[in-house]
Copies of this chain bind each other. A is one copy, B any other.
Amino acid sequence: MNALGLIVEYNPFHNGHYYHLTQSIKETNADIVIAVMSGNFLQRGEPAIVSKWDRTKMAIHSGVDLVVELPYAFATQKAETFANGSVSILEALQCQSLCFGSESGDISSFLLANEFLIHNKKQYEELIQHHIKTGVSYPTALTLAFQSLSNGHEILDLSLPNNILGFHYVKSIHQQQAKIKPYTIKRSSAGYHEQDFVSSTIASATSIRKAIFANKDQVANYVPKETVKVMDKYKDQQDLLHNWEYYFHLLKYSIMTMSEEDLLTIYEVEEGLENRIKKNIHSAVSFQDFMERIKTKRYTWTRLQRLCTHLLTKTTKQQMSYIDQSETSPYIRLLGMSSKGQGYLNSIKKQIELPIISKLSTFQHPLLELDIKAAATYNMIFPEPLRSKLLRTEYATPPIRLENN
């Protein structure tokens, strides 16, 4: 069977995702669709608006056959690590293709950019170091280095967020010598950061989340009816949704009870930041306020949000040390599947080298501990007994079985 791999967050699943899904199937002639999805915390370092279980339902309802979780250790990372973890899982699941959305829409430009940087590796790295020394953030340094290096060639605009991710998918495939063939589809309208509805059926996830928190009926115009159905239970119950502000008291408590030394053990807390964090937490009255206080030119907003996520989940450098050795996932955790997905999995099961986890109790791994801790933290904002019930769910829930609609 021809399996198509997608790398997704579905926060929540909307018409743009549906467009990408159906176009990708057409483009790759796929028989089956596998999505590797971030769990409860996302690449930009924020909690997903609803749980991975609800987002899995949306995905399968809308046509995905198999949803597996990208471990926390890869999901809450810069593009490179995020891509490495995701690609390794899709490769292990024997996907023949990976199709990503991009601003460019031209796969040859990604392949070319990858080739180009392999051939100019040394010069590229020197340029990155040069730009970092000027005090800009790491992503900006990458973009500037690539721009000056490829000046005149017009290979690929790496200042655009989906082009960057796509570039890293292609690079990961190359580095891991994966058999997956990369495809890309031009993203249709709605920029990643758009906050307002701009087209009649497609809107950014950001604007959709904003509308959900404002409890606007308009949302139904921008998401499949399956998403509406799943989101229905949150109507007028916004305290069951998730956003950073709901976690601020836990973040503040966490930081207030840690010494600067303790802070330095946390992943992504670089020398100097511990001081800045400790100094600004006392007076910060909200997450937004705190972020604005610690923001500098040197660190992107996203980078600092990821750091806050690690502070919230108490993820230490030592706990993350696995990925210093290997940037491929050590297991595959199933979140949900259709019967077609189940059939595919059965057919390839014996050839998969990674352990496949249906139930948490059956497998142990330091990175899985992080997933469990992240899930526990994610549910910590609810009152009892709901909180305890959701904590049990994480252990007790078998992969969701649903049919595509």
Contacts and interface: CB of A to CB of B under 8 A. Distances in A.
Interface of A: 248-250, 252-254, 256-259, 282-286, 313-314, 369, 373, 376-377, 380, 384-385, 387-388, 391-392
A308 to B, nearest CB: 14
B388 A258 contact: no
Contacts of A249: 380, 387
Contact of A285 (B253, B285, B385): B385
A105 to B, nearest CB: 42
A380 B258 contact: no
Interface centre among A286, A384, A385 (most CB of B within 10 A): A384
Contacts of A282: 388, 391-392
B257 A313 contact: yes
A376 B284 CA distance: 14
Given A253-B377, A380-B253, A314 B258 contact: yes
B388 A257 contact: no
Given A250-B253, A256-B380, 6 more contacts: A249-B387, A253-B377, A253-B380, A256-B391, A257-B373, A286-B384
A143 to B, nearest CB: 35
A257 B250 CA distance: 11
Contact of A256 (B257, B284, B377): B377
Contacts of A380: 249, 252-253, 256
8 contacts: A249-B387, A252-B387, A253-B253, A256-B380, A256-B391, A282-B392, A283-B388, A283-B392
Contacts of A387: 249, 252, 285
Contacts of A377: 253, 256-257
Contacts of A286: 384
Nearest to A255: B376
Nearest to A391: B282
Contacts of A385: 285
A384 B257 contact: no
A314 to B, nearest CB: 4
A237 B385 CA distance: 24
Contacts of A252: 380, 387
